[in-house]
Chain A
């Protein structure tokens, strides 16, 4: 069965410092993995997607994630945080034979201090 674990419910960084949001997954097959961001009172926006083409995936707004099969991890990073990055981030897994079903992690709230 698929599952996603986001290892931190809340991460706080200072503006200009690196961001690391951690995600581990469990999947029976080769999964598609995603990171979505949700700003307050908004819908979900796709940051990036992994589909086995390359283990290092670049997304929007300077975010990237590395797929490590041996560690079943898909951590999200950004070299330098910006105030506008403050939001909730979701790690998501989807398997090919599950149609449109997405499994979400519990979310990590990112705070950015000036």
Chain B
């Protein structure tokens, strides 16, 4: 089976812009989670989608949003970008979440100038 894929792999944006990141889970996986990784804060949970519904959400501002499509592919959007949004954004998929093993994609590295 193909692994989790994320596009694009690298992005450069300027403050105030918005960005959309995409994640394709492993075939058959219905749970998709997103994480932000920064040197200062480490890996932090953004949100999780299961069957097109947001099931859990981390402690991030409303500028961070996401959605999941019927084929389980997921997108996350960050509006009004700030310098502090520069990070590696990782997507992970699992069959149904709930303590199962999550498989991670290679990440999208976002640089905000």
Contact = CB atoms under 8 A, between A and B. Distances in A.
Whether A and B are associated in the same complex: the answer reads: yes
Interface residues of A, number: 26
Interface string B34-46: 0100000011110
Contacts of B104: 36, 43-45
B84 interface: no
Given A43-B107, A103-B45, A98 B56 contact: yes
Interface string A74-114: 00000000000000001000111111111111110000000
Contacts of A102: 33, 35, 45, 92, 102
A36 B90 CA distance: 13
Contacts of B105: 43
A97 to B, nearest CB: 8
Contacts of B92: 44, 100, 102
Interface residues of B, number: 28
Contact of A107 (B42, B44, B94, B103): B42
Contacts of A56: none
Given A42-B106, A43-B104, A44-B104, A100 B43 contact: no
Interface of A: 31-32, 34, 36, 42-46, 49, 51, 90, 94-107
25 contacts: A43-B4, A43-B90, A43-B104, A43-B105, A43-B106, A46-B101, A96-B99, A97-B98, A98-B56, A99-B31, A99-B48, A99-B97, A100-B33, A100-B50, A100-B94, A100-B97, A100-B100, A100-B102, A101-B33, A102-B35, A102-B92, A104-B42, A104-B43, A107-B42, A107-B43
